Amino acid sequence: MDAIQNVLAAIVVLGLLITFHEFGHFWVARRCGVKVLRFSVGFGKPLWSRFDRHGTEYAIAAIPLGGYVKMLDEREGPVAEEELDRAFNRQGVWARIAIVAAGPLANFLLAIAAYWLIFVMGTSTVAPVIGPVAPDSPAARGGLASGQEIVAVQGDATPTWEAVNLELLSAIGADGSLEIATRDPERSDQATRRYQVPVSDWLVGQDPPQPLTTLGVTPWRPATPAVLGQVLDDGAAAQAGLQTGDRIVAVDGEPIGEWMAFVERVRANPGKTLTLRVERDAATREMSLTPQRREQDGEAIGYIGAGVEPVSWPESYRREIRFGPLDAVAEAVTRTGEMTVLTLDSIRKMLIGLISPSNLSGPITIARIAGETARSGLESFVAFMAYLSISLGVLNLLPIPVLDGGHLLYYVIELIRGRPVSEAAQSAGLRIGLALVGTLMVMALYFDLMRL
């Protein structure tokens, strides 16, 4: 079921992003006087189509992975004399630049719209408060301690753990130290302290990078007692007679303090009967529980079909991030800019060897993450779509022939030289571009399969 959801989520995300990209080309081409022959949502044989008064065919095709825009162009077929002025190749260089750049620009605008929606809807999160600090880790050597809230990394504000991770990722390759500012979330004076955390070749070569683990910190979480919050009707917990509200006190005579300790015992004993001491209605009783067996990552684990009772976070640790419609525009533009810079910097670091090429993601990883974010909720799904839209925009602006950036490179050269790049040079560039893009696609698919 998850696999089907992943595929459907990927179709929705990629279909929307690529269609919006092509709509950017279409919209600007129309305003530059270029005749658009077809705007297709999807590839392959059209399932439905109609023509408008401008002679443009709108089609929905069988393969729902994006779309394309076909313009009148002498390089792709004969053009009637009376329509030559409407052919793409007959337009001035600035018009061609505008039409080609409109696709990636549409992706950035879509990302801004997505982030705007997130900021206006608002999100509830928790402060990035440090939990356990690993001994002899960079965090420990730098003086960071449990209970501190990270408010900035390298001078940039970090209101959430996501922001902390992004700032730590943007510092890949750093040597010397990272400046981390903290405060005590329990105090009202908001006083901050700055620490210099020693690092060397920060996150270099990690696949994937694990900034918090490498730093040596674990996010703080409130204690989670081993109390059942839900019990599935057909699970091992229900068969054993466990009920919602039961507190697991001990397993096989060993005291159980927190939920994860109970989970670890269950996972480690598939098919083996465990003796539980359970507290219910102020009374203690013993019960037998036999975890069911299932495979996960090639390993047999136990599960019982039960969930934990949610715990409340202290009010001082809660954060509500919400902006008004106008303020959200500025925040959305800023976030899109930050993610664009991070994407470009990641490409640069991959080219110089600071980031492993194995971090490339292909369609399998995109589908998996799309499915996971869709199951997590609207906010996660929209945020993933925004990031993927930015990645698509950046990728298409790379100066590689066959991509929009390659065409823009030709047009810039044409502006400088005063004449178009020769057909022979463009043909050679096309072959090089196809080879580069094809190699990247094969590598991404290979690393996808390795992750499986």
- pLDDT value at position 134? 94
CA dihedral 216, 219, 221, 224 (to 10 degrees): -60
**Does residue 296 register a pLDDT over 80?**
no
**Does residue 65 register a pLDDT over 90?**
no
- pLDDT, tens only, 317-332: 888 889 999 999 999 9
> Residues of the chain with pLDDT > 90: what percent?
57
**Does residue 451 register a pLDDT over 80?**
no
Tell me what the pLDDT averaged over the chain comes to.
90
Q: Average pLDDT, stretch 267-291?
A: 92
- pLDDT value at position 311? 85
Task: List the structure tokens of 288.
Answer: 């037998």
**Does residue 186 register a pLDDT over 90?**
no
- pLDDT value at position 248? 93
When pLDDT is cut at 50, 70 and 90, the band that residue 310 belongs to is confident
Q: Average pLDDT, stretch 130-144?
A: 93
- pLDDT value at position 1? 59
C-alpha span between 348 and 216 (Å, rounded): 27
- pLDDT value at position 297? 66
- pLDDT, tens only, 427-442: 899 899 999 989 988 9
- pLDDT value at position 335? 93
C-alpha span between 3 and 270 (Å, rounded): 25
**Residues that are catalytic:** 22
- pLDDT value at position 377? 85
Say which residue the tokens 């100066």 belong to.
399
- pLDDT, tens only, 5-29: 888 888 888 888 999 999 999 999 9
When pLDDT is cut at 50, 70 and 90, the band that residue 447 belongs to is confident
Give me the long-range contacts of 276-281 (CB less than 8 A, separation at least 24).
276/240, 276/242, 276/248, 276/249, 276/250, 276/251, 277/248, 277/249, 277/250, 277/251, 277/253, 278/242, 278/246, 278/247, 278/248, 278/249, 279/246, 279/247, 279/249, 280/243, 280/245, 280/246, 280/247
- pLDDT value at position 206? 81
Q: Average pLDDT, stretch 370-389?
A: 89
Q: Average pLDDT, stretch 122-128?
A: 88
**Does residue 344 register a pLDDT over 90?**
yes
- pLDDT value at position 188? 62
**Does residue 292 register a pLDDT over 70?**
yes
pTM of the model: 0.81
- pLDDT value at position 178? 94
Q: Between these two residues, 269 and 66, which has the higher pLDDT value?
A: 269
The residue type found at 17 is: L
Q: Is the dihedral of CA 90, 94, 97, 102 positive or negative?
A: negative
When pLDDT is cut at 50, 70 and 90, the band that residue 351 belongs to is confident
Produce one character per residue of 66-89: b if its CB has 16 or more CB atoms within 10 Å, e if not: bbbbbbbbeeeeebeeeeeebbbe
Q: Average pLDDT, stretch 77-93?
A: 91
Distance of CA 26 to the CA centre of its chain: 27
- pLDDT value at position 118? 94
Q: Between these two residues, 317 and 391, which has the higher pLDDT value?
A: 391
Q: Average pLDDT, stretch 107-129?
A: 93
Domains and CATH numbers, the chain: 101-121+323-452 (no CATH), 123-222+312-321 (2.30.42.10), 228-308 (2.30.42.10)
Q: Average pLDDT, stretch 284-303?
A: 87
- pLDDT value at position 312? 84
- pLDDT, tens only, 195-219: 999 999 898 878 788 999 999 999 9
> How many CB atoms lie under 10 A from the CB of residue 40?
20
